[in-house]
Amino acid sequence: MANITISVQSFLNSSTNLSITISNTATVSNLKTAINSAEGVNTAIMDLFFNGVKLVNASTLASYSIIAGSYIQSSNNITQNGLWTKQERQVLKLDLAQLKRIRDSNPRSIYSLSELPDTYNGNVPGADDNPNTGGLIIGRPWVNWTAGAYRTTYSGYHEDDVTFTDTATVTGTTIVGNFTIPSEPENTTELYIGYILSDYTGTWSFTITSDDASYIWVGPTALSGYTTGNALTNASYLGPGTGTISLSAGYYYPVRLLYGNGPSDGSLNLTYAHTGQSATNNFTGKLFFNSATNGF
């Protein structure tokens, strides 16, 4: 058994290297403990890499041919080269912030992994007890919120083609506070993009009344993969449509509404309802969009 001195990139400051002396028969877990001590923290959640290979906690340094003078990289730097998923990068950032608070004897805002949202696995969040009172959205927890939905008006009628707005001529944009149009000129299409901030945990009902055709998507399908077949509900001059979805209070849910009118004047009205809330088209305090993208 021999002690070796290796150079390890600091995970609290990527521009600093630590000089660590440790037995070559020590495990990677032992090395992490030594790094924690050198950084002045109690515990750390991190990954280490040697020659581009991720080190396994139970393995020994000798098993990776780590010798005196070897250079070990911490996950603080590895996150930049695309080896990690979005979730792993985000968790690491939170871990590093937590470690710095411990190092600086500032334990406030300490979080646990159980409080992180499941926004990265493609499911609608709702099962987590997350203390973020500002709300969370699928895939992106922080957004430049502006009240209302972003509506784009196009020349022509979409004819039930959800890709119509990709190439249609834009005739105007505006910010709206609801999804109601008393009178729509003929041969016009409207696309609404934004988020609904839920204030109720349970089943929501959305009802569209329109002349002519309209479709609404709420949740992941509003962001991508939307088709006429997976819309929450749709309506036409033949009658309204109602769809239901389970939402959780405190979360922002993506919403996409495509409405179009063909010949003669048209109209649109979207209402929501849930237990304790009768059907209403008043979305005050519940409708937002990302001002950085004018949509999602």
In this prediction, residue 85 carries a pLDDT of 56
The fold of 145-290 is Jelly Rolls (2.60.120)
Query: pLDDT tens for residues 268-281?
Result: 999 999 999 999 99
| % residues pLDDT > 90 (the chain) | 50
pLDDT of 253 strictly over 80: yes
In this prediction, residue 95 carries a pLDDT of 64
Q: For residues 197-211, give the mean pLDDT.
A: 94
| % residues pLDDT > 70 (the chain) | 74
pLDDT of 19 strictly over 60: yes
Query: pLDDT tens for residues 51-64?
Result: 878 888 899 999 99
Element (H, E) at 23: strand 17-23
Identical fold for domains 3-103 and 145-290, yes or no, is no
Beta bridge partners of 214: 235, 259
Q: For residues 95-108, give the mean pLDDT.
A: 59
Query: pLDDT tens for residues 31-55?
Result: 988 988 887 765 555 678 888 788 8
Tell me the HSE value of 102 on the side-chain side, using a 13 A CA sphere. Answer: 18
Q: Decide which of 3.10.20.90, 1.20.1560.10, 3.90.480.20, 3.40.50.300 is the CATH code for 3-103.
A: 3.10.20.90
In this prediction, residue 87 carries a pLDDT of 58
DSSP 10: -
Q: For residues 260-270, give the mean pLDDT.
A: 94
pLDDT band at 94 (very low <50, low <70, confident <90, very high): low
Cβ neighbors of 145 (< 8 A, separation 6 or more) are 288, 289, 290, 291
AA identity, residue 112: S
Coil, strand or helix at 204: strand
Are 195 and 288 a contacting pair, CB within 8 Å? yes
Q: Which residue has the higher pLDDT, 125 or 58?
A: 58
Q: Where are the domains of the chain?
A: 3-103, 145-290
pLDDT of 127 strictly over 50: no
In this prediction, residue 139 carries a pLDDT of 38
In this prediction, residue 15 carries a pLDDT of 74
Note the pTM of the prediction, 2 decimals: 0.56
